[in-house]
Amino acid sequence: MLHTFVALVEDKPGVLTRVASLFRRLNINIVSLTVGHSERAGVSRMTIVCEASPTAGHRIAASLYKLENVLQVDDIGQLSHVARELALIKVAATPQTRSQVFELAEVFRARIVDLAPESLMIEITGVESKIEGLIQVLNEAGDRILEISRTGRMVMRRGQHTSKVLDAMRVPGVETIAEFQAEEDSAAPSDLLMAEETGL
């Protein structure tokens, strides 16, 4: 099954190698890995998606913790969360065939971000299935896809503040968890968000 981990790691050279090497050693293939800055200077946030046995979650999280540069690991699993991926898709299209692609993009709430005489570029954000859905209909419509660039999955747990460790370490500038939680957890996800999740 697919596992998703969010890891807060020190922003230093070699940290990515250490994390990647851990998965290599466990003979687990990384499906996607997204790294970027977090809410705190010097701390990067990784979202790692991998294919592993259903019981592997604990071992992977515990092994990640063994890396000195890893500050916190969250095994997202079945927890309530928001997942998003961004994709840029370049499609071959002439001025005559563009309108069909525009229509498809519209249905998927994607945006056209570049137009060239022989191609156009679509930007789409959503869960993986939504992106794969657009790719599928583009293929079925006979539009030739020239390039795809996908960011891989990014996730954030609903309500729950993930930076518990930073909080426990009393790092200045990080607010306490408890205050946030009560109100955020009670807020029902809007219809719009639900719609996004289901793909359309």
Partner 1 sequence: MSTGKHAKTPTNSGAGTRLTGAEIMWATLEGEGVSVVFGYPGGAILPAYDALRKFPIRHVLVRHEQGAAHAADGYARASGKVGVAIATSGPGATNLVTGIATAMLDSVPMVCITGQVSSKVLGTDAFQEVDITGITLPVTKHNYVVTRAEDVAKTIREAFLVARSGRPGPVLVDITKDAQQGLAEFDFAAAAPKPHRPHPMLKTESASILQAADLIRSAKKPVILAGHGIMQSSACQQVLTFAERMRIPVASTLLGLGAFPASHPLSLGMMGMHGEAWVNHAIQQADLLIACGMRFDDRVTGTLATYAPNAKKIHIEVDPAEINKNVKVDVALIGDLKEALEALLPHLPPKSTKHESAWLKEIESSKGEVAVRDIKNLPDSGHLYAAHVIHDLWRATEGKAIVVTDVGQHQMWEAQYYKHNEPRTLITSGGLGTMGFALPAAIGAKIACPDKEVWVVAGDGGFQMTAAELSTAAQEELDLNIAVVNNGYLGMVRQWQEFFYEKNYQSSPLRSPDFVKLAEAHGIRGTAVRKRPEVLPAVKEARGHKGPFVINFLVEKEDSVYPMIPAGSALHEMIRRPNRNPLVETADDK
Provide the binding-site residues for partner 1, judged by CB under 8 A: 14, 17-18, 21, 25, 55, 58-59, 61-63, 65-68, 71-72, 164-165, 168-169
For residue 176, the minimal CB distance to partner 1 (Å) is: 16
Q: Which is nearer to partner 1, 18 or 98 (CB)?
A: 18
For residue 183, the minimal CB distance to partner 1 (Å) is: 24
For residue 164, the minimal CB distance to partner 1 (Å) is: 7
Beta-sheet strands, E only, within the chain: 2-10, 30-37, 43-51, 70-75, 81-92, 111-116, 119-126, 145-150, 154-157
Q: Which is nearer to partner 1, 169 or 194 (CB)?
A: 169
Q: Which is nearer to partner 1, 12 or 37 (CB)?
A: 12
Decide if 92 contacts 146 (C-beta within 8 A).
yes
Element spanning 180, H or E: helix 177-186
